[in-house]
Structure 1
């Protein structure tokens, strides 16, 4: 412990223990991945603390809320519990987190009904939706709303126009959400409302969205996400699963 104190005492973080220094560095590195965050904290576990000098960490716990990604998607709450990991301690003092070997973490991610609605209206998602063509015409989405119902079903409502037409088609869909192969989120048992055209357009939309909702398409570089369970309650969707981390992600 005296050697640890001596080494850390010579570094540019006076009166702070090694685990607190690393915890702050991990918090800052994760914050940098988001455009805006609410309260976030990372707590490094290392016993004895001296093992930090070899870059060994028993793990770290991360809890954050109100996290807005640069693509406009928002996460209400996220918890990561990272297993034992080996880090390049020298990089910490450059504001970087570099893993010497892959690790994995259990995760819990919560999205609110408002998060889901806002996500469907971000340019990031709208651009992907508009790649769908119907009867050879592009689709224009507006006022898309997501609703989490008391029976745990999800509702999707959107106003869609075709090409340059001014006519608005009201699409109203109710569906269950399930995960397949631990990475594909799928709307199933879908019920369509409206006239024949609205139903046909709704079916095309669900097919398109189901093809998009593959977690491998949304994961940050160096990470792989897998969902084991979905819980829907109180206008919230909670995902439980694992994150495999080959390298600490960097914001592009």
Structure 2
């Protein structure tokens, strides 16, 4: 998930141990992102002699334009670990192996544009198209239903407006609702307090559109689960989220059992 590197720790007094660790960390992180616009890494270890004993004070990464799993772009991402105990011999071999788990505080910024692009990703489309759930086939007369052309508008107070089209056979029904984004069990994003918005829907389609809106809300509530995006050896959890203009901000933490080799 973490891609190309620019400007990380260029010269920190010529300390070979820290420079080596920075190089190995950058190479490791490079393989975790599909691509990136900027990534900066800083290893803190004072005095630097602690590194030879396998201890560093913290590891910090900040990046911009990071693309995860080819389709999911984050405008900004940063994390900083607690004290890290690592096997220094693994660093000499070009790897990073932890002696014990560590935690990192993380912050992520998503733009409205990137959120909308994510709804076009194959991973998301597969969960929204050709659905044969009973609640939907009852509406469509037994035909699978697809939700397409999803567009999200970020609103103040953690709210969003969502537009979409529900299609089956030769029918296409517009769907529109407002809701509040909430964090559940620190790993799921819930589309709470969902309210059907009839204003953009033709009057003759409003009753049908409202039923489809309810079904779409239930589907979305099962989609955004961080456990589906965990890297090998890393468990991510959310503490809070908030809308800020055309951005959606997340803060949380990661429990790192081992450093993943690929995203």
| Closer/same/farther in 2, CA of residues 168 and 23 from structure 1, 3 Å limit | same
TM-score, normalized by length of structure 1? Answer: 0.87
Are 2:76 and 1:95 equivalent residues in the alignment? no
State the partner residue of 2:34: 35
Matched, 1:161 2:161: no
Q: Distance in 1 between matches of 2:76 and 2:105?
A: 14
Residue aligning to 2:49: 50
Residues 16 and 236 of structure 1, relative CA distance in 2, 3 Å threshold: same
Could you report, residue by residue, the CA deviation over 1:175-213 in whole angstroms, capped at 9, with x for unpaired residues? 110112211210111111341121111111111111122
Q: Tell me, which stretches of 5 or more residues in structure 2 are unaligned?
A: 1-13
**Residue aligning to 1:9:** none
The number of equivalent residue pairs is 236
Alignment of 1:1-252 (within 5 A): 17-130=16-129, 132-133=131-132, 134-135=136-137, 136-162=142-168, 165-193=169-197, 194=201, 195-251=206-262
Does structure 1 conserve the Cα–Cα contact (< 8 Å) formed by 2:131 and 2:146?
A: no
SS at match of 2:179: strand
Unmatched 5+ stretches in structure 1: 1-14
Counterpart-to-counterpart distance in 2, 1:66 and 1:147? 20
CA RMSD of aligned residues (A): 1.8
1:24 is paired with a residue whose SS is helix
Stretch moving more, 68-77 or 20-29: 20-29
Q: What residue is the counterpart of 2:11 in the other structure?
A: none
3-state secondary structure, aligned to 1:36: coil
